[in-house]
Structure 1
Amino acid sequence: MRFGWQLSLVCLLSFSCLVLADVKQQEVSNLTNTFQIQPTTCVSLHQGQACFVNLTLSWHTANKGNYCLYSSDQTSALKCWMADNQGVMVQEFNTAQSLHFYLKQDKSDDVIAAAELEVSWVYKKQQKSRLSWRLF
């Protein structure tokens, strides 16, 4: 019985340390803005051909606000979120060149986060045509 209150105190302190560690971890993860796209690469058969991809774009910011998602191939916003600190968008893209995506705060040109969809191909374009005539 003599050690009962000490054991209770140790358990209480251990639990509070675990709770504080969890809160500390959440605070650290909320300090940064994250922006992810999946997949990050789109593959076409031949260089110069368009590739087709169903892209998932997700983001998270430390503060709630009005945010819009933009791409390098168009000037208007792809999608906007109002009074939010996270969002997800799924959309099909077809492109022959790499695309850059930007998360911006509404009414601002400051880029909060960015990601790139890289386009690659299985076969590179040949430099010369195989059907060339030689005089000598």
Structure 2
Amino acid sequence: MKRTFLALIKPFNFYLLSAITCLLMSFTSSASESNASLVVTPKNCVALHKGQKCYLEVTFDWQAKLNNYCLVNNTRSQIMKCWSDKSSGQYSFDFQSTQSNDFSLQLQDSNTDVAHAQIVVAWVYKSKKRSKSSWRLF
């Protein structure tokens, strides 16, 4: 008795389809449990030369389920501000850094991240030094 390729692959397709369905359902349920958002504006900070500090006034806006939260600078391991029994908040400060910084909104009791944001540091000029191959006439 000859089995065709389709007859052999049919059970595999069923298991693959089942696995994909379960995976999508788990993503959907975890997304609905935690609908927290953390938005930083502006998102980019530009310095003139690489290695120089960039200076920027940034504002964080967040929304989540009613709870106790803290805004944390993960790059510096620094708590920026905490809120008690809030479902939204706003925080502004003067950002100064030579590198990109990651921030998160955390549950105050468990330090669990519920939302993330990043301030990206960029430069106009990569290096102050002139290239050694530049030509000069005088």
Say yes or no: TM over 0.5.
yes
Matched with 1:49 is: 52
Q: 2:97 aligns with which of 92, 95, 98?
A: 95
Indicate the residue corresponding to 1:58 in structure 2: 61
Shift of 1:107: 1.9
C-alpha root-mean-square deviation of aligned residues, in Å? 2.5
Instruction: Look up the equivalent residue of 1:54 and give its one-letter code.
Output: E
The answer to whether 1:36 aligns with 2:36 is: no
1:118 corresponds, among 102, 120, 129, to: 120
Hey, what does 1:11 align to over in structure 2?
none
Deviation at 1:41, TM superposition (A): 0.2
Letter in 2 for 1:67: Y
Residue 80 (structure 1) aligned to one of 64, 82, 94: 82
Percent of counterpart pairs with the same letter? 33
Judging changes above 3 Å, is the alpha-carbon distance between structure 1 residues 76 and 121 closer, same or farther for their aligned structure 2 residues?
Answer: closer
Q: Deviations for 1:73-118, whole angstroms, at most 9, x for unmatched residues?
A: 4333100000000000010010000000110001213110000000
Unmatched segments (≥5 aa) in structure 1: 1-28, 132-136
What letter is aligned with 1:124? K
Q: Give the aligned length.
A: 103
Contact 2:50–2:123 under 8 Å retained in 1: yes
TM-score, scaled to structure 1: 0.68
Partner Cα distance (2:56, 2:130) in 1: 30
Structure 1 residue 130: deviation in Å? 3.7
Amino acid at match of 1:81: W
Show structure 2 runs of 5+ residues with no match.
1-31, 134-138
TM normalised by structure 2 equals: 0.67
**Runs of 4+ off more than 3 Å:** 126-131
Q: Which residue identity lines up with residue 99 of structure 2 in the other structure?
A: Q
